[in-house]
Amino acid sequence: MSATERAEEAQTLRALIEAFRPPACPIGVDAATRRAVEFLAAFRATGSPRADLLDTSLTVLGTLLAGTGGGRERVRRRLSAVDSSLPALRDLARFAQRLATVVIYATLDEAGRPLAAQAVGYEVFEDRPRGRVAVAASEPRLPRDAVVGPSEAIPDEIYDVVVVGSGAAGSVLAERLTARGRTVALIEAGDYVPERYDGAAADRPRPHDELDNLLRYYKDAGLQPTAGDCRMVVLQGQCVGGSSVINNAVCFRMPDHLRAEWAGEFGAAWAAGRALDDAYDRIAAELRIAPVTAAVPDGWINPSARFLASGAKTLGAEGLLHACSVNIEACLGCGYCNLACAYVRKRTVLQTMLPSAAATGRLRVFAGRRAREIVVRTTAYRAEGVVVEPTRGGTGRQTIRGRRVVVAAGAVGSSALLGRTTALAPLELPIGERFSFNFVSPVHADYEAPVRAFDGLQMGHYCVENLPRDGFVIETWFSPPATQSLALPGWGDELQANLERYAHYACASPLIGSSAGSKVDARFSPEQIWIRLGRQDLDRLKRGLTRTCELFFASTPSPRRALINTLRDWSLTPDTYRRRIADLDSFGDIQISTAHPQGGNCLSADARGVVRPDFRVHHTRDLYVVDASVFPTSLGVNPHWTVMAMADVAAGHVADD
């Protein structure tokens, strides 16, 4: 980018920030603009292939704002006209609002405090009474010789197993395989960044710095978009430890009706058998999975649950609310689960599986390297290694060789890697098909008195009645203001007015498992995520939103209103919520998001499958896929425990025991 282009981009960012910044905001336009410029420069430096899309969006916005002179009111009028225009232009206007709002509420002052966030009632954890005396637990570090950085030479070795991806599946595989005596090369596109924050490590951002943590721990800094029936982002981790580092640590077993379906319809006998139960139990013991009420000894859990419980009691459904099971110990309730646990209370794979595997001396982690293609001998379709390149750019692709290759890069990454592997093309496998996901659309209940839902573990309770019938669970959730703004409705001053009520919201969302009609298409660079949702998906969302609102409005006290994240008519009352939700006609009417992508490389004994029930890619030798991409259906509950248990089962097949 030339100096002229950088200056023009800074002018566009300044105009957007001034347009969406509340006049009384304690963060100035100059400070927020600097933060935006720094964030975008750092985002480009991550090597994200999505950077060009962001550049294009900002260039188009700059063109649309031409002739306004950057004046606040003129820019606001121009953007409002764009928001009322064609869907593609409306999406661009909404992107501009989201970007400016997130930057404003995430900009820190010289003391490291988000002044705009504090102005709406937020407190960073270290300013809360218990946060002032909180001590981060010790963290097991990976040995220096176990981690090979992107600038270091790749050793001339042949590993027993090369695993692509260091998240929930890849790390369990690494631990199980090294314990069986195998040497393992673990490839990770993200960096190795310890979770513990002590102020001394330059790589580890402040615990409450939302932008820097997005850059450090998330794929595409949380800006991985979709196309098709709805525009949303797919949130995934990109760091050593993967999404386990930035998820909410909520653990569900696979629902029984899906275990039976996977076994009966797709031939995965292990899904319905004792092997999976035993794997769940082993993972639970290692991660010390326990009810949230035991994991948070002082009770600092998102208080939204008490309003759901009150509503359930009023409705005669007192058994509706349940404590989540979590892989957390002695939680302090800082509310930073999605920003990586700086206090090291979350039992992630970075704290458990990877140190155990490294202690054997048989693990080598290749961090900061993106897998480009699998080396497959076309005569026998035997996998022999993986071609990698530095994630942050640089020359020289190299090959990490192995006797077996396991792809565990997540539902998007694994589909893209298999699709880029041209040697597999003659097999005509349905790579990338049957992609699915769990999606959410939060409900905010606005109470007269402050709720302070940020002051506790983000996600602690769930409501479920009949999952096979209803198709949803309801989970509590809350985040710091910059992230929370993405789930709030409103345009311009409306959104800012809604943000001013931040400390008064309780929040929960239905979680819906989508149908398996979407696709990851590797013919594009970067890969495209095409979303196809049906009437059943929309009906489940509508039922989930209705039940969530019903519970909140039945609570004592009752909220002033409930907000849903629609483009219009988003403020609901007890008299209007049923009719308004019933009127939702398409996913173009409401914002959804996902952090649980699944499918793409369906596990099946028949032609629907990319992967056989023993996790080996059909018609190949020594090539396996073990992660959520093999799920034949979405789970409809948080998948992270199931991914780990499945990897435990798969390790025996990969090791050929």
Query: For 11-28, what is each residue's pLDDT tens digit?
Result: 999 999 999 999 999 999
* Burial of 53 per CB tally in 10 Å (0-12, 13-18, 19+): middle
For strands 363-367 and 184-188, give the pairing. parallel
Rounded mean pLDDT, 468-484: 97
pLDDT of the residue at 406: 98
* Token duo for residue 433: 């098909």
State how far the Cα of 471 lies from the Cα of 252, in Å rounded to an integer: 15
Beta bridge partners of 385: 375, 401
State how far the Cα of 111 lies from the Cα of 118, in Å rounded to an integer: 13
Out of 362-376, 385-399, 516-530, pick the least confident.
385-399
* C-alpha neighbours within 13 Å on the C-beta side of residue 352: 27
608: number of Cβ within 10 Å: 15
Rounded mean pLDDT, 523-551: 96
Rounded mean pLDDT, 282-290: 98
Residue-wise pLDDT for 230-285, tens only, equals 889 999 999 999 999 999 999 999 999 999 999 999 999 999 999 999 999 999 99
Local structure of residue 560 (DSSP, 8 states): S
SS3 149: coil
Dihedral angle of Cα 474, 480, 484, 485, to the nearest 10 degrees: 170
Q: Evaluate whether 473 touches 255 at the Cβ level (below 8 Å).
A: no
Residue type at position 345: R
Contacts 24+ apart (CB under 8 A), 140-146: 140/351, 140/355, 141/194, 141/355, 142/192, 142/240, 142/354, 142/355, 142/358, 142/365, 143/358, 146/358, 146/363, 146/364, 146/365
C-alpha distances (whole Å) from 482 to each of 211, 245, 478, 496, 625 are 9, 20, 11, 12, 36
Rounded mean pLDDT, 572-601: 97
Indicate the pLDDT class of residue 72, thresholds 50, 70 and 90: very high
Helices 210-217, 29-45: crossing angle, 10 deg rounding: 10
Strand ranges for 201-337 from DSSP E? 227-228, 250-251, 290-291, 321-323, 325-326
Q: How many residues are given for the chain?
A: 657
Strand ranges for 79-215 from DSSP E? 147-148, 158-164, 184-188
- With CA atoms as reference, report the closest residue to 364 among 421, 418, 402, 410: 402
Indicate the pLDDT class of residue 199, thresholds 50, 70 and 90: confident
Rounded mean pLDDT, 378-407: 92
Give the list of residues 6+ apart from residue 421 with CB closer than 8 angstroms, or none.
373, 374, 376
Q: Evaluate whether 237 touches 368 at the Cβ level (below 8 Å).
A: no
- With CA atoms as reference, report the closest residue to 458 among 420, 425, 487, 497: 487
Strand ranges for 237-381 from DSSP E? 250-251, 290-291, 321-323, 325-326, 363-367, 369-377
SS3 408: coil
**Maximum Cα–Cα distance for the chain, whole Å?**
70
> Alpha helix (H) ranges present in 168-246?
168-179, 210-217
Residue-wise pLDDT for 115-171, tens only, equals 999 999 999 999 999 999 999 999 999 999 999 999 999 999 999 999 999 999 999
Rounded mean pLDDT, 414-430: 97
State how far the Cα of 184 lies from the Cα of 161, in Å rounded to an integer: 5
Q: Is the peptide bond before 557 cis (omega within 30 degrees of 0)?
A: yes
Q: In the predicted model, what is the mean pLDDT of the chain?
A: 96
State how far the Cα of 487 lies from the Cα of 589, in Å rounded to an integer: 14
* C-alpha neighbours within 13 Å on the C-beta side of residue 431: 26
- With CA atoms as reference, report the closest residue to 210 among 195, 198, 223, 221: 221
Percentages (nearest 5) of helix, strand, coil residues in the chain: 40, 20, 40
Out of 346-360, 378-392, 501-515, pick the least confident.
378-392
Q: Evaluate whether 49 touches 526 at the Cβ level (below 8 Å).
A: yes
Task: Report whether pLDDT(581) > 70.
Answer: yes
Rounded mean pLDDT, 601-606: 96
pLDDT of the residue at 657: 54
> Alpha helix (H) ranges present in 113-255?
115-119, 129-132, 168-179, 210-217
pLDDT of the residue at 393: 80
Give the list of residues 6+ apart from residue 295 with CB closer than 8 angstroms, or none.
326, 328, 329, 330, 331, 457
State how far the Cα of 217 lies from the Cα of 220, in Å rounded to an integer: 9
Beta bridge partners of 185: 162, 364
Q: Evaluate whether 302 touches 476 at the Cβ level (below 8 Å).
A: yes
Task: Report whether pLDDT(92) > 80.
Answer: yes
Sheet holding 290-291, edge to edge: 250-251, 325-326, 290-291
Rounded mean pLDDT, 635-642: 98
Higher-pLDDT residue of 656 and 645 is 645
- With CA atoms as reference, report the closest residue to 211 among 371, 339, 298, 352: 339
State how far the Cα of 331 lies from the Cα of 579, in Å rounded to an integer: 41
Indicate the pLDDT class of residue 366, thresholds 50, 70 and 90: very high
Indicate the pLDDT class of residue 379, thresholds 50, 70 and 90: confident
State how far the Cα of 340 lies from the Cα of 346, in Å rounded to an integer: 9
Rounded mean pLDDT, 361-366: 98
Sheet holding 227-228, edge to edge: 227-228, 528-531, 519-521
- With CA atoms as reference, report the closest residue to 6 among 62, 46, 65, 53: 62
* Token duo for residue 227: 């196309």
Rounded mean pLDDT, 505-509: 98
